[in-house]
């Protein structure tokens, strides 16, 4: 078997978690979702975009989003995570890296994600300049366990596949 094809394929995983905070808007996957609380964070707290960004950066052999958008920098206070994802796209394009697919998982008791799934996929695919069929988003609960089960926050995982060159 010719393995040279696989030498240019890389996989990355990303994870993010944020607690809820009163008085903030909730953004997941770049979409504003009606909910009484938002996610606490230096940026808008979008756990899904952060997980995807870190997965893409990791697969590409780059630093994590904290390196490019440090929470110690006031210029990034409240920044839209879509801007973070646009910067990640730019870093990948500079290196001629192609995104093959993204698989994201949101873990939350509330709110329900299904009504926003297609809008989230559209926002991510359009921001990254890839086909919607290359983005999959799923959601699950934590079955009432832990801080997520107590409705104190939301977590997200992402796995990506990229091709270099």
CATH number at residue 47: 3.30.1330.50
Peptide bond preceding 111 in cis form (omega within 30 of 0) = yes
- Using the predicted structure, report yes or no on whether residue 8 has a pLDDT greater than 80: yes
pLDDT of residue 82: 97
Whole-number Å distance between alpha carbons of 54 and 69 = 12
Whole-number Å distance between alpha carbons of 88 and 137 = 19
pLDDT digits (tens, 9 = 90+) for 102-153: 999 999 999 999 999 999 999 999 999 999 999 999 999 999 999 999 999 9
- Using the predicted structure, report yes or no on whether residue 4 has a pLDDT greater than 70: no
**Which domain covers residue 134, as residue numbers?**
4-164
Whole-number Å distance between alpha carbons of 85 and 47 = 12
Whole-number Å distance between alpha carbons of 150 and 146 = 6
Q: Which of 112, 41, 117, 114 is nearest to 81 (CA)?
A: 41
pLDDT of residue 6: 65
SS3 1: coil
Is residue 71 within 8 Å of 42, Cβ to Cβ?
Answer: yes
pLDDT of residue 76: 84
- The percent of residues in the chain predicted with pLDDT above 70, rounded, is 96
Q: What is the dihedral of CA 59, 60, 64, 68, to 10 degrees?
A: -160
Query: What phi and psi values does residue 41 have, to the nearest 5 degrees?
Result: 180, 165
Question: What domain count does the chain have?
Answer: 1
| Residue at token pair 């975009």 | 49
pLDDT of residue 3: 61
What number is the average pLDDT over the span 63-80? 89
pLDDT of residue 127: 98
What confidence tier does 7 reach under pLDDT thresholds 50, 70, 90?
Answer: confident
Higher pLDDT, 71 or 4: 71
What confidence tier does 54 reach under pLDDT thresholds 50, 70, 90?
Answer: very high
pLDDT of residue 48: 98
């Amino acid at each position: 078997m010719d393995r040279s094809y696989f030498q240019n394929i890389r996989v990355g995983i990303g994870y993010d978690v944020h607690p809820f905070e009163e008085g903030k808007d909730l953004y997941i996957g770049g979409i504003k979702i009606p909910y009484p609380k938002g996610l606490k964070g230096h940026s808008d707290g979008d756990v899904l975009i952060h997980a995807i960004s870190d997965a893409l950066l990791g697969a590409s052999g780059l630093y994590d989003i904290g390196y490019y958008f440090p929470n110690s920098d006031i210029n990034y206070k409240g920044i839209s995570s879509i801007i973070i994802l646009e910067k990640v796209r730019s870093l990948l394009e500079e290196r001629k890296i192609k995104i093959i697919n993204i698989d994201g998982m949101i873990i939350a008791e509330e709110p329900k994600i299904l009504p926003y799934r297609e809008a989230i996929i559209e926002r991510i695919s359009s921001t990254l300049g890839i086909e919607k069929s290359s983005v999959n988003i799923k959601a699950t609960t934590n079955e009432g366990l832990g801080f997520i089960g107590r409705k104190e926050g939301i977590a997200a995982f992402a796995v990506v596949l990229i091709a270099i060159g």
